[in-house]
Amino acid sequence: MKVVVAGGSGFIGRRLARRLVDRGDHVTILTRNPDRPAEEGLKWAAYGDGPFDADVVVNLAGENLFGKRWSQKQKAVMRKSRVDQTAALVARMASEPRPKVLVQASAIGFYGDRGDEMLDEASKPGAAGVFLTDVCRDWEMAARAANDYGVRVVLLRIGVVLGPEGGAVKAMGTPFRFFAGGPVGSGRQWMSWVHAEDLVGLVLHCVDNEDTSGPINGAAPNPERMNAFCKALGRAMGRPSWLPVPGFVLRVMLGEVATVLLGSQRVLPKHAEVSGFVFRHPDLGEALKDLLGR
């Protein structure tokens, strides 16, 4: 198939592009820096205008949530990179030829901070007025507009992604390397995580399986509390998990972005499993061992 990937140079996009090329698909990565040499099965292109010459569009684009403090200016950048850019991609589908499917990234931030409540795709969004929840809701609404053009839309609500070259393992692993790792906040908040390999596999599953549409939670079937997550990370790295970071300290250090780490989301991938997707790394300890090689 011809597949267009927006955000294809990012942590997950790079993995996805490799898998698509390896299986024989032709991949075009949309980027702001398209002057890169083409490779076999893969080329680079500017975002541009006009209809897509593609069977599939996968949109993973979005400003890094943890890149900077959430000033009003930075919030505007994050919203634009998600909501406005998605709307622009969907607007291109108004003209033929159209892709058959849009796999659109979203996030479990859609659900807000929900304590111990078990959440699946039928659960309501979090409270209005919370930045990340509002962005996720508007992000998904922008993508759903592609349904009007006969495009199958999958809304992939992504959890905390684990990978050796990025995501939570890289961010949270740094203090563990210096024997200063531990849980943040109360430690009782739920973390809904997913191995990067499983997330890429789920994207491919949604591309290939015509029965998948609407919201699908991109999270492993066994979420863990923060305490357990940090203990498992410490074991995988051969380091103790002994130095907790109080919530107020994290808020001072990170500002509003700390709410992402302090909030609790116990998310289950009901639709993914019902559609036949099998997670290769459903257990946190095994997933971290696979990623860190211990």
> pLDDT tens-digit profile of 50-108?
889 999 999 999 998 888 899 999 999 999 999 999 999 999 999 999 999 999 999 99
Average pLDDT over residues 163-181: 76
Per the prediction, the chain carries an average pLDDT of 93
Between 179 and 143, name the one with better pLDDT.
143
Cross-strand bridge partners of residue 57: 4, 102
Residue 256 pLDDT greater than 60, yes or no: yes
The pLDDT assigned to 111 comes to 98
Between 197 and 36, name the one with better pLDDT.
197
Between 183 and 217, name the one with better pLDDT.
217
Query: Confidence class of residue 37 from pLDDT cuts 50, 70 and 90?
Result: confident
The pLDDT assigned to 167 comes to 64
Helical pair 167-177 and 284-292, crossing angle rounded to 10 deg: 80
Q: Where are the alpha helices (DSSP H) in the chain?
A: 11-22, 72-79, 85-91, 131-144, 167-177, 196-208, 226-237, 247-254, 258-262, 270-274, 284-292
Residue 294 pLDDT greater than 70, yes or no: no
Query: Confidence class of residue 258 from pLDDT cuts 50, 70 and 90?
Result: confident
Show me where the domains of the chain are located: 2-292
CA 74-76-77 angle, to 5 degrees, is 65
Between 250 and 125, name the one with better pLDDT.
125
Tell me, what amino acid is at 219? A
The pLDDT assigned to 13 comes to 93
Name the most confidently modeled range: 131-135, 163-167, 255-259: 131-135
CATH of 2-292, one of 3.20.20.150, 3.40.50.720, 3.40.50.2300, 3.40.50.1980: 3.40.50.720
Query: How many angstroms separate the Cα of 49 from the Cα of each of 30, 88, 260?
Result: 12, 8, 34
The pLDDT assigned to 66 comes to 81
